[in-house]
Structure 1
Amino acid sequence: MLIVIIIAVFASWGVGDMFSAGKTNVVAEVSGKNIYSEDYVNELRNGLQTKNYQNVSDAIKDNLHIQILNQLVAEKIFEIYAEEEKIIINDKTLSNFIKDIPEFSKNEKFSRTEYEKYLLKNQISSFSFETSFKKNLLKKLIVESQNLDSISTSYHTTRVKDYFEKKISISYINLEDLYEDVDITEKEILDYHKKKPSYSNELRSIKYAVINQNKEANQSSDLFFKNISDIENMVLSNRTFDDIATQFSLNIKKSDLFNKDGVIKNSLKATAFDRSIIQKSFYLNDQITSELIEVKGSFYLIGINEIVKKKPLILNDEVKKNIINKIKKTNINSKANFLINKIKEQNLFDQLISKKKKTVKQLDLKNRLEKNKTFSPNQIQQIFNLKKNELLVVKGPKNYLIKAIDTSYDRTKSNDEMDKLYERQVAMNFDEQIMQSFDKFLNNKYKVKINQKVLDRITNSF
């Protein structure tokens, strides 16, 4: 839980300039204790593999790289806190906890054979398992030391019961349907094009070298990966593509010009490069002049060969169509903001839909965990916060005006077993409040500094 909460305060960490230019092997510091780049890279690779990301950009959008860094920061905070509070897990204590794990027992006794089977099945060494287990055990002991016995009152239990058993019926309309009759004039199109001209796609050509283990020359795996590690360090030190290629006698090739979608200039064909190489090609700039990327077991060192900058497009029919769509989207967002300010006005919903009743839709939501094709889980939570006849504007890829027609509670779910679950939830809520206070204390006590330059380089190298 602490790891999740610590993510929320990431923006408050110190970033960037406090690190010396030569400190390329440290991604962050917690009260002067280092978090090393190698540990971050290993955890990030494990995270990509564990979560089965096919595309690194999807992982970045999901903030996996930030979650991994938060995990390492949280572990470092626990480590420092444990040292200060003299919370120690010695080898004997660790051994006793591991021997109590049911998966490692046979005939109600610890079995070394079952333990070894587990390690083989999960392809993990005993050292790695025991190190990870010790870290998690330390966190568990610290967290449990903060929790107090929580008392569940009937008031709080009723509130939790209402939260989970609430049902709601709504009417809603897409704001695009509500304001579809608004025409975009030629003057609006010309003004928009003048202020925000449309441009052609930027094109790039890269220099690249494919680096594989030279088995014909009997190159050992140790030597190969040492070279890869040396190249990676040179990339992190912002050495140029040409410098690195020369030092390691790499075979340099040059690509055709292609855009961000990987489409080759004057062609409908896509480049043969992996998507990750295409994306990294457009990250390169004067500060980041080279990247090392692993694709299906091969390593690619890339650098910029040529850049064709964006050019203003002539105002033809296709450009006009794109401008109209952009203006409409801007107008809808403005209307949504206007409605948010008017949301408490009586009869607002009925007045707005009076001529658009055919486009108004009805929806009955049986519980707040129900999946829906129209509304996201976060929007569902907003809808369930409504009282009868209240209005809500939800914004997103599509914007909706919503009215709560009726609310009720499904008491058919209530029974002794469910009541116990509700009481347990109340206790969890109290525990969460305690842990939030403890987390705030830790974040105020231990100062975190991020080496943003190294963090960006490592992230972009994947």
Structure 2
Amino acid sequence: MLSSIRKFSKTFAAKIFIAIIALPFIFWGMGPLFVSGEKNVLLEINDNKINSEEFITYIQKINLNRDEVERIGKSKIFDQILTNYISEKIIAIETEKKGIQLTDRALKNILINDKYFLKDGKFSRTKYEKFLLKNRYAAPIYERSVANVELKGQLLTYYGGGIKLPKFIINDSYKRENQIKEIDFIDLNKIYSKNTPSEEDIKSFYEKNKSLFKEKFKTFKYLELTPEILTEKKDFDEDYFKKLDSIENDILDGKTFDSIVSRNKQKVINIKLVNSRKSNQDGVFLKKINDTLLKKIFSIENKNKPEFISFNNNYYVAEVLDEKDMVLTLKDQEFKKKIMAQLEINFIIKENAKLLEKIRNKKFHEKEMLQLSKKNNVTINKAKINNIKDTSKFSPNLLKTIYKFNSGQIFVLSDDLLKKNYLVRITKEKDPKIDPNSDIYKQYVAKANAEYISKVYKSYDNYINANYKIDVNNKVLERLKNSF
């Protein structure tokens, strides 16, 4: 018996939008690998058994080149094809149930009116046949794929088409985004900024998380290969580049760093245990090394082996001598600032949570908002927001949150990074009016219809999940994958 190893009907609404895969595919090495009988059944859709040969035939009609398979991954692309195949099977069952058909005449009209096949405004048989040859399609196979796409569209239209929503729904859709809202708000950052992490807090946080504060440090040496060093001239001439080539060859031949720079030892720069931020363990900043050079040195994997480095007409020979993962210290001021920033965020999260808990338990109202303002000596600001696109005071994302609340409600408003934090109370709302004959009204009719149809599709998705049991024979599936 087949086991329910993979359930491909989780999101049918997404599946019915999957386009028919029309990329070139070379299905190599399959041959007559499969035998008849139960062992050859790839999947079951309810009581409908589908064998592997049928699925192979489906794949052979898809064109996907070897590079595409390697880029996406054999297993992943195989699962995508199977998902699309199951989707088409279910759609075929559903369209048959609903009596949805596509006549030969209707299919012909779709093809002869396709802009891709028109020449001088008329259908061109030559352009059509060239398209089939270029994409390795047989005409019956391509026409079936077009028919499948059309049937999908008709099925969706069956469930979502012809909807005429009442005016109050359209008006409500317009009101949700264009309602005028008057608000009181406190900038919580003016309160939170008064809290500065103490040295004790910083040290405590550091000690508790010490194991997380490791960075890679490297000890290395390098020599800049300037014309003055290699040729004792300032010119980037042929002689200079011959010297560079010679050094590259020496490195490939296994010569040591010291032997390569033997004539210029005094000009070699030695750097001891520095991180990629150009500082040592205590945060002392190293200014004398080029940023790009340091980045390239940190990409060197082998120790005690010279490397030739070049960028922007600058040339170096460098060698990594040592590499250590070391715990940063609080003497590193840049690192310390990061800890302080994290503590400040933790504080904001904690304080926001306290306010949210009080609001949720109905223990924070207009009176408490006024008390918070007086206690912390911060102003309660007022603002008028004309619609959800009015960014004069708040960003688009914050406006979306504001428009989820109604008059009289109090809530905490924060951006994703907690850089902006507000306590907001909606004091007044004014519903806008819309002219049913205006272009804006037509836009909201379309928008409301789209929202309603989306709900219909979601409901249909639930129906599909409830009425279709899809079982995949994993052994057969893996055997197919391994035969690529």
TM-score when normalising by structure 1: 0.53
Residues in 2 aligned to 1:408 and 1:135: alpha-carbon distance in whole angstroms: 49
Amino acid of the residue matched to residue 402 of structure 1? V
Greater shift in the superposed pair: 323-332 or 311-320 = 311-320
Residue 370 of structure 1 and its aligned partner are, at CA, apart by: 4.7
Deviates more, 1:309-318 or 1:390-399: 309-318
Change (3 A) 1:171 1:261: farther
Cross-structure match for 1:351: 371
1:75 aligned to 2:84? yes
Post-superposition CA distance 1:73-131 (Å, at most 9, x none): 763442221344576879986554232235654665324577799x7xxxx95558959
**1:439 aligns to what?**
461
> 2:113 is aligned with what amino acid?
D
Instruction: Give 5+ residue unaligned stretches, structure 1.
Output: 8-28, 47-66, 205-258, 283-305, 452-462
After the TM superposition, which residues 180-191 of structure 1 pair with which residues of structure 2 at under 5 Å, given as runs? 180-191=193-204
**What SS does the aligned partner of 1:181 have?**
coil
Q: 2 CA distance for matches of 1:375 and 1:40?
A: 46
Of 370, 385, 388, 1:368 maps to 388
Distance 1:421 1:203, change over 3 A: same
Cα distance, 1:195 vs. partner?
Answer: 0.9
2:452 to 430, 436, 446: 430
* 2:413 aligns with one of 382, 391, 394: 394
Aligned to 2:430: 408
Distance 1:6 1:194, change over 3 A: farther
Residue from 351, 356, 362 that aligns with 1:335: 351
Is the 1:170–1:405 Cα contact (8 Å) retained in structure 2? yes
Distance (Å, rounded) in 2 between the aligned partners of 1:403 and 1:388: 8
1:330 deviates by 0.3
Corresponding residue for 2:399?
A: 380
Identity rate, percent: 19
Aligned position for 2:317: none
Q: Give distance in 2, aligned partners of 1:361 and 1:112.
A: 70
Question: Which letter does structure 2 place at the counterpart of 1:316?
Answer: K
- Which secondary structure state, in structure 2, belongs to the residue aligned with residue 411 of structure 1? coil
- Given the alignment of the two structures, is residue 195 of structure 1 paired with residue 205 of structure 2, yes or no? no
Does structure 1 conserve the Cα–Cα contact (< 8 Å) formed by 2:190 and 2:378?
Answer: no
2:160 corresponds to which residue?
A: 147
Q: Is the 8 A contact 1:177 1:359 kept in 2?
A: no
Q: RMSD of aligned C-alpha atoms?
A: 5.6
Query: Alpha carbons of 1:392 and 1:44: their partners in 2 closer, same or farther (altered >3 Å)?
Result: farther
Is the 1:164–1:368 contact (alpha carbons within 8 Å) kept by the matching residues of 2?
yes
Distance 1:168 1:388 in 2: 8
* Structure 1 residue 336 displacement after superposition: 1.0
Q: 1:260 to 1:6 in 2, by over 3 A?
A: farther
- Cα 1:441–1:30 change in 2 (3 A) is farther
Correspondence 1:323 to 2:339:
yes
Change (3 A) 1:4 1:97: same
- Give, in whole Å, the separation in 2 of the partners of 1:421 and 1:261: 54
Q: Given that residues 167 and 367 in structure 1 are in contact (C-alpha distance below 8 angstroms), is that contact kept between their aligned partners in structure 2?
A: yes
The separation in 2 between residues aligned to 1:145 and 1:157, in whole angstroms, is 22
Distance in 2 (CA, whole Å) between partners of 1:443 and 1:372 is: 46
**Alpha-carbon separation, structure 1, partners of 2:275 and 2:13:** 35
What letter is aligned with 1:382?
Answer: T
| Native 8 Å contact 1:393 1:400 kept in 2 | yes
Q: Deviations over 1:162-207 (max 9, x none)?
A: 2243122334444332222123222212211111125233479xxx
Amino acid paired to 1:200: K
Deviates more, 1:321-330 or 1:82-91: 82-91
What corresponds to 2:111 in structure 1?
98
Match of 1:458 in 2: none
Cα distance in structure 1, aligned partners of 2:148 and 2:294 = 43
Q: Please tell me whether the aligned partners of residues 168 and 406 of structure 1 are also in contact (alpha carbons under 8 angstroms).
A: yes
- Supply the distance in 2 between the matched residues of 1:262 and 1:94 (Cα, whole angstroms): 65
* 1:309/1:194 CA distance change after superposition, 3 Å: same
Q: Which amino acid aligns with 1:99?
A: I
CA deviation profile, 1:17-62 (whole Å, cap 9, x unmatched): xxxxxxxxxxxx98797999x789849979xxxxxxxxxxxxxxxx
Q: Is the 8 A contact 2:435 2:441 kept in 1?
A: no
- In the alignment, does 2:180 pair up with 1:167? yes
Equivalent pair of 2:410/2:425 in contact (CA under 8 Å) = yes
Contact persistence 1:175–1:332 (CA under 8 A): no
5+ residue gaps, structure 2: 1-9, 16-41, 45-51, 219-273, 281-285, 302-320, 475-484
Residue 177 of structure 2 contacts residue 388 of structure 2 at CA under 8 Å; is this kept in 1? Answer: yes
CA distance in 2, matches of 1:81, 1:173: 55
Shift of 1:326: 1.0
Per-residue deviation, 1:333: 0.6
Tell me: CA distance 1:200–1:413, structure 2 relative to 1, closer, same or farther (3 Å).
Answer: farther
Match of 1:214 in 2: none
Q: 1:43 to 1:184 in 2, by over 3 A?
A: same
Contact 2:12 2:87 in 1 (8 A): no
Matches within 5 A, 1:155-304: 155-197=168-210, 199-202=213-216, 268-270=290-292
Contact in 2 for aligned 1:78/1:138 (Cα 8 Å): no
**Cα drift, residue 334 of structure 1:** 0.9
Change over 3 Å in CA distance of 1:164–1:315 after alignment to 2? closer
In the alignment, residue 201 of structure 1 is paired with which amino acid?
E
1:338-395 deviations in whole A, cap 9, x for unaligned? 1111224222332223366766655443322455784343x32220122223222133
Q: CA deviation at 1:337?
A: 1.2
CA contact (8 A) 2:171 2:434 kept: no
Q: CA–CA distance in 1 between the matches of 2:470 and 2:91?
A: 16
